[in-house]
């Protein structure tokens, strides 16, 4: 029974990743405006909010947070149930300044914005607040995710 459950979760994650290429990595070649429109369409269709993760491949903490979330099945499942994830690159190659101009100021990376399904920003999150003893905290991240559930979820 556990193997069947694992396979279903694995297939769900694989389908989710294939459908949402904009949520996999900080890619300087991606168009965040086009990706944002796709994220809004999916969030609206699936009654989820959007979690915009801003960072880059140059960012150690971005890698640590990404690995932490993606290697914990519960965090990943809960995040993907509540949010459509949109990763936006910030780097020397592409700062995505025009896209980020309408967002609140970012103090450090990675940084997250929570939006309604229509893209309206409702929260700006400094991910350093997820740290406990210089490591990401499962409890703090799950608390953050659960705080932003849409009422009908």
Q: pLDDT of 88-140, one tens digit each? A: 999 999 999 999 999 999 999 999 999 999 999 999 999 999 999 999 999 99
Q: Helix, strand, coil % (nearest 5) of the chain?
A: 50, 20, 30
Report the CATH fold assignment for 24-147.
Glutaredoxin (3.40.30)
Please tell me the predicted confidence (pLDDT) of residue 152: 54
The 10s digit of each residue's pLDDT in 48-76 is 999 999 999 999 999 999 999 999 999 99
Predicted model pTM: 0.85
* Rounded Cα–Cα distance for residues 19 and 112 (Å): 21
Please tell me the predicted confidence (pLDDT) of residue 112: 98
């Amino acid at each position: 029974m556990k193997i069947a459950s694992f396979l279903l979760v694995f297939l769900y994650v694989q389908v989710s990743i294939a459908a949402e290429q904009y949520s996999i990595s900080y890619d300087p070649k991606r168009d965040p405006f086009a990706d944002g429109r796709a994220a809004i369409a999916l969030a609206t269709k699936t009654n989820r909010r959007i979690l915009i993760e801003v960072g880059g491949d140059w960012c150690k903490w971005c890698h640590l947070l990404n690995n932490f979330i993606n290697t914990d099945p519960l965090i990943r499942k809960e995040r993907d149930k509540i949010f459509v994830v949109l990763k936006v690159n910030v780097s020397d190659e592409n700062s995505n300044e025009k896209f980020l101009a309408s967002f609140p100021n970012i103090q450090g990376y990675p940084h997250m914005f929570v939006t309604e399904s229509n893209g309206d920003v409702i929260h700006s999150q400094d991910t350093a607040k997820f740290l406990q003893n210089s490591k990401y905290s499962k409890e703090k991240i799950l608390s953050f995710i659960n705080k932003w559930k849409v009422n009908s979820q």
